[in-house]
Chains A and B, each alone.
Chain A
């Protein structure tokens, strides 16, 4: 079930340069939400028509709260970043399928790159088994490090080498000799492409959370499609709707 809900901001802070952490009171959406899902966030400025899809970083079911961690990329997200406790925002959600949680893996590798790191926080809480998280950042301006450490063994990669492995998430996986039954990943598409190839090579299962420009967010407009390996049951062509059939796909279902 999807809800439109007026969410009230509990707190907001900038946790790294241009990265904001927003806790919202949104009872209905928090009750339904699962890791890997996202919400549509609507701008107050009516000249910005389209909702911004933002992944869910944490879910507080008891408190009816959601945590969104996002990067300011344009005027819409800058508008959100100026909101403070007590302000409200219109949301629709929870949207998308989320990560699969019942595959029975003993050992899993969670991989987040840049603004793909936040969904790994809630995923690490829900997934059973032994968990390792690899998060990749540009530099030492890290975010969500403590949260990720709470429910998984954390490995860090930075492009400039200031913290952890110098290089990308795959460099960190190799340097630390990390092995697992499956990879769960969210991040920029070159990273996802590399992980898909790596998982294939190692014979691991792999789930990728994709991103694309969206309009409706609910599977109606067909703006946010990705190329699928086979003809999709809904679209009847070789593509899938990221907002509705995703954002999480088994790596072998899609072409990157």
Chain B
């Protein structure tokens, strides 16, 4: 029996595959296609202290081997999330990771406190959304701000804290160290890369927000490089993501230093993508006679 389980800050995942926040809803939408209990963890869409309406449409645009999104963190707020979404997600035999967003440090802390007595396994702090004017990425582009918010969140959090890092920085290693200094338990990266698409026929921006976050296979080499650099910079476990479409892509991130991986945009291209990534990792382990997935973490230096 090959071991696919990994440990993130004391939380044992049956396999390293989770879903990237924002691509998988919060109400088990993909449970209509397969048993979500096959995944290592479900990461919810970002939730704030109050409902957020998000950005005007169009909110997405396809690009070559990728897509831009500027949803703007639309969410129903923590009250509805706790009452409705957590029970829906608890039906599945998997770990639940709640992505937390906010406009101010107080907003983030309020959500974190509200979740303290909830049956969720980890918190992922979204300090890297490029599509909202306040909060989001503002905390994720300056090392001092990142360290400070990490400390504030950690003081209140009952669950292990994952800080989700932005790729829109000069030195990802510096940001990883700042989150580590603030007390983060785990890092996840990359969030989307800020991009733009112009419709030359209509002479308008493809997105109402003008800019959006680029994701999908187009960003994968950037993501692999950043996961590698972050893994070199800190000793924290890392959740790698950015364009993972299948098991082979997931293995690449693990070899670069990720302990776990998230499947995001691929869910849109194939609703079974996360489930197939779990199988693809096992196929790779069988092909190369890998007994324990943990032997692959950061194995390429």
Contact = CB atoms under 8 A, between A and B. Distances in A.
A and B co-occur in one complex: yes
Interface of A: 1-2, 4, 42, 46-51, 76, 92, 212-226, 234-239
A238 B53 contact: yes
Nearest to A90: B270
Given A51-B268, A216-B267, A217-B268, 14 more contacts: A49-B266, A49-B269, A76-B62, A212-B57, A215-B268, A219-B29, A220-B24, A221-B25, A221-B71, A221-B268, A236-B76, A237-B74, A238-B53, A239-B74
Contacts of A2: 32-33
B52 A237 contact: yes
Contacts of A234: 27, 76
Interface string B16-38: 00000011110101101100000
Contact of B65 (A42, A46, A92, A224): A46
A4 B33 contact: yes
Q: How large is the interface on B (under 10, 10 to 19, 20 to 34, 35 or more residues)?
A: 35 or more
A38 B32 CA distance: 17
Contacts, number: 108
Contacts of A217: 268
B59 interface: yes
A42 B269 contact: yes
B206 to A, nearest CB: 9
B61 interface: yes
B298 interface: no
A212 B65 CA distance: 21
A222 B77 contact: no
B66 A49 contact: yes
Contacts of B217: 46, 49
A1 B52 CA distance: 30
A194 to B, nearest CB: 20
B45 interface: yes
B58 interface: yes
Given A2-B32, A92-B271, A222 B61 contact: no
A92 B273 CA distance: 14
A213 B76 contact: no
Contacts of B132: none
Interface string B45-64: 10000011110011111101
B62 A49 contact: yes
B268 A216 contact: yes
B99 interface: no
B198 interface: no
Contacts of A219: 25, 29
